[in-house]
Amino acid sequence: MQNNKKRRTTLIGYGNVGKRLKDLLSRNNISIDHIVRSTGIYDVKGDKIDEKDNFCKYIDEDTVVFISLPSVGDGSDILNYYLKSLEQGVGVVTCEKAVLANNWELMKKYKNKIKYSATVGGDSGILDAISDYKGNINEIKAVVNGTLNYISEKLLEGKNVKDIYEDVTKHGFAEPGSNSFEEVIKNELQDVVYKTVILANHSSLCDKIISPIDIEIEPYKNTGRCAVIIKKNFIKAGFQNFKDSFWFPSGVNNVLSINGIKVAEGLGSGGKITARKMFKDYLELL
C-alpha cells in the first residue's frame, strides 16, 4: 500500500482495545469511518447504518480494517472478516489471535496485507525482534502473557490469590469474561496457546506449520513461572520451573530470549498498550 491516498478506516470490535484505538487515531487526526459491532454497522456519528453481515459494502482496496475482537475458540466466527477484507485487497491490522493461530496459511498468503505484531508481546516488539534477528535461531524462550507473569511473580512473593485477582481485574489485565481467579488462569493460558503458535510460525523455527493442537501446555501451579520454550522439534508452554529465572521480566512485561540472549522486553498487557502497537502497525502498513 502507498500512503499518497486518503485511506478509509473500519474498526471491527469496540471493546477495551477498540475504544482506545479509536481515541488514539483521533488524537492523530485519523477518523474511523465505520465501526462494526455485534449489533450492526455504525457511522462516524454513531448512527447504525446497516447490519454487520453487510460489512463488505463499506470496504475496498483503499480501506484499512482494524480487527480488535476477543480471541475465542478457533476464530471461525470471525474468520470471514479477514477473508472478505483480504480478498478485496484491504489492508488488515489485527490484535486478534484465534484466527491467525488456526489459519496460518492465510497469513502466509496475504503477508503483505496483514500486520499482526500486536498479537504477541504488546508493545515489547517480540515479533519485530524475531524478524530483525541476524543469524540462525536455535532456541526461543519468551514470556508472552503479562498477566500470568504478574500472577506467578506475586505468588512467589507470597501475595494471596484474592489480592492478585483484584489487581489484575482492577487494572484490566485479564481477558474478557474472567469472573474468578480460576477463570483468569484458564483464559490467559488459552491466550498463551494462541501466542505460542503465532510465535513459532513467525519464527519459522519448526519444520511445519504449527497449530494449537501441537502445543503442550503446562497447567497452573503456584511455584512455577509462565513461559514459552520453542526449539526445532520441541514446544512447551505454561507454568514451568526454571533454574535460570533471572531473565524473567517483572510485572506485566513480556520478554524474548533468542539463543540465550535477551533481545526484547516491554509492556505486554492492557488495552492501551495493544492499541498503541496496532497504531504502529497501521503506520507501517501505509
Mean pLDDT of 197-223: 94
Pairing of strands 48-50, 40-43: antiparallel
% the chain with pLDDT above 70: 97
pLDDT at 46 over 50: yes
Q: List the Cα angle 158/159/165 in 5-degree steps.
A: 145
Q: Which option is the CATH number for 8-122+273-285: 3.30.910.20, 3.40.309.10, 3.30.1330.60, 3.40.50.720?
A: 3.40.50.720
Per-residue model confidence as pLDDT tens digits over 103-134: 999 988 999 999 999 999 888 899 999 999 99
pLDDT at 210 over 80: yes
Give the residue extent of every domain in the chain.
Answer: 8-122+273-285, 126-268
> Which pLDDT value is given to residue 5?
60
Query: In terms of Cα–Cα distance, which of 59, 28, 72 is closest to 283?
Result: 28
pLDDT-derived band at 17 (thresholds 50, 70, 90) equals: very high
Q: What is residue 193's three-state secondary structure?
A: helix
Give the pTM: 0.92
> Which pLDDT value is given to residue 84?
95
State how far the Cα of 256 lies from the Cα of 192, in Å rounded to an integer. 14
> Which pLDDT value is given to residue 88?
93
> Which pLDDT value is given to residue 29?
95
State how far the Cα of 22 lies from the Cα of 3, in Å rounded to an integer. 20
Mean pLDDT of 137-151: 94
> Which pLDDT value is given to residue 3?
47
Cell numbers that stand for 124 in this block = 515489547
Per-residue model confidence as pLDDT tens digits over 234-250: 999 999 998 887 889 99
State how far the Cα of 168 lies from the Cα of 149, in Å rounded to an integer. 11
Do 100 and 205 contact (CB within 8 A), yes or no?
Answer: no
Q: What is the CATH number of domain 126-268?
A: 3.30.360.10
